[in-house]
């Protein structure tokens, strides 16, 4: 009887617990996707980040932007104002660097994956730091920019050696 009670309690916790599900760590790579996990880029990026990730672990405001860190989920975000005079930490999403192994694409590429897995899911060959704002790796998603012709990297699997070191998500707006 005690075993049955334990099983019922465990099942209830699994069903009703507020813990993040695997879909909360999905990085969409479709053409129309904007964001990662529960964060969707657009108006009110700071509020959307807070709703998706909670309060940042640390905030570092500099001259060129604001870095928000969310240590529990391995996320570092860069915010900026495009020179519009808005407070940097309350302005626009520029990029996020995701380093927790739970972050993944639908193709299964995640931090710790082999470089070969990233290569198979990529759009073309490995790119150097000039193709994705200082990030070297495999482009997993591209988008049309609002400010420049052609396709630009939106999700990059940053590699070092034979492993994916981070997944980097860029803004879908002007770079």
Whether 174 shows a pLDDT value over 80: the answer reads no
Specify the length of the chain in residues.
175
Helix or strand (DSSP H, E) at 7: helix 2-16
Arithmetic mean of pLDDT over the chain: 82
Q: Is 83 helix (H, G, I), strand (E, B) or coil?
A: coil
pLDDT, tens only, 102-111: 999 999 999 9
CATH of the domain spanning 28-170: 2.60.460
Tokens of 28: 């969409």
Q: Is 128 helix (H, G, I), strand (E, B) or coil?
A: coil
For the chain, the domains span 28-170
Helix boundaries (H) for 17-132: 45-53, 115-121
Whether the predicted model's global pTM rises above the 0.85 cut:
no
What distance lies between CA 12 and its chain's CA centroid? 31
Would you state the pLDDT for residue 124? 82
């Amino acid at each position: 009887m005690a075993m049955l009670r334990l099983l019922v309690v465990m099942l209830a916790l699994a069903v009703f617990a507020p813990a993040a599900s695997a879909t909360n760590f999905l990085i969409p790579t479709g053409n129309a996707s904007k964001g990662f996990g529960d964060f969707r880029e657009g108006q009110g990026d700071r509020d959307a980040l807070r709703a998706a990730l909670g309060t940042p672990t640390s905030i570092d405001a500099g001259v060129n932007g604001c870095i928000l860190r969310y240590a529990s989920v391995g996320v570092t975000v860069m915010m900026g104002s495009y020179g519009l005079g808005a407070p940097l930490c309350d302005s626009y999403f520029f990029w996020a660097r995701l380093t927790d192994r739970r972050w993944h694409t639908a193709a299964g590429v995640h931090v710790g994956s082999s470089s070969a897995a990233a290569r198979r899911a990529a759009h073309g060959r490995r790119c150097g730091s000039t193709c994705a704002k200082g990030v070297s790796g495999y482009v997993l998603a591209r988008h049309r920019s609002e400010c420049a012709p052609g396709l630009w990297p939106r999700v990059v699997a940053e590699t070092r050696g034979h492993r994916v070191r981070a997944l980097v998500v860029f803004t879908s707006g002007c770079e």
